[in-house]
């Protein structure tokens, strides 16, 4: 069974592709992200050369070692998106990029709690380095 693979492409092209998908799918938070997308670190998640979704991160203004993480998963891949391999790869890239914590503020908080995160006033937080076992 093919796995969803996170890829890092040219930053501007990935940001533009993410915005295109947001517009095409009427993403409810498009306006908020449109203004700051130039600051996003984008993973394009692919399976067999097709886009399955995006995961993107922003460094917090008050603490650049904490990234807030967002995900947009295309409908055909909803139930099989977050595998151990994908999550551990993303966490590894964050760690080697100087990130000490990841924060999830939205509907994916449950996912971060499942892999070992904890709740804060701001959302679900996960300390790095971390490996989902």
71 Cα distance to chain centroid = 5
What are the structural domains, with CATH classification, of the chain?
Answer: 5-127 (3.40.630.30)
Average pLDDT, the chain: 94
Q: What are the C-alpha distances in Å from 115 to residues 87, 98, 105, 126?
A: 9, 20, 15, 9
Q: What is the pLDDT of residue 2?
A: 83
Write the pLDDT tens digit of every residue in 27-86.
Answer: 999 999 999 999 999 999 999 999 999 999 999 999 999 999 999 999 999 888 989 999
């Amino acid at each position: 069974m093919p796995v969803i693979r996170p890829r890092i492409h040219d930053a501007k092209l990935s940001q533009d592709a993410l915005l295109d998908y947001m517009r095409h799918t009427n993403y409810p938070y498009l306006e908020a992200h449109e203004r700051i997308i130039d600051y996003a670190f984008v993973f394009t998640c692919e399976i067999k050369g097709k886009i399955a979704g995006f995961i993107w991160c922003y460094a917090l203004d008050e603490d650049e070692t904490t990234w807030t993480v967002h995900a947009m998963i295309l409908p055909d891949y909803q139930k099989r998106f977050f595998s151990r391999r994908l999550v551990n790869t993303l966490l590894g890239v964050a760690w080697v990029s100087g990130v000490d914590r990841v924060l999830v503020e939205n509907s994916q908080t449950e996912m971060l709690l499942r892999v070992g995160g904890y709740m804060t006033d701001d959302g679900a937080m996960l300390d790095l380095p971390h490996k989902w076992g």
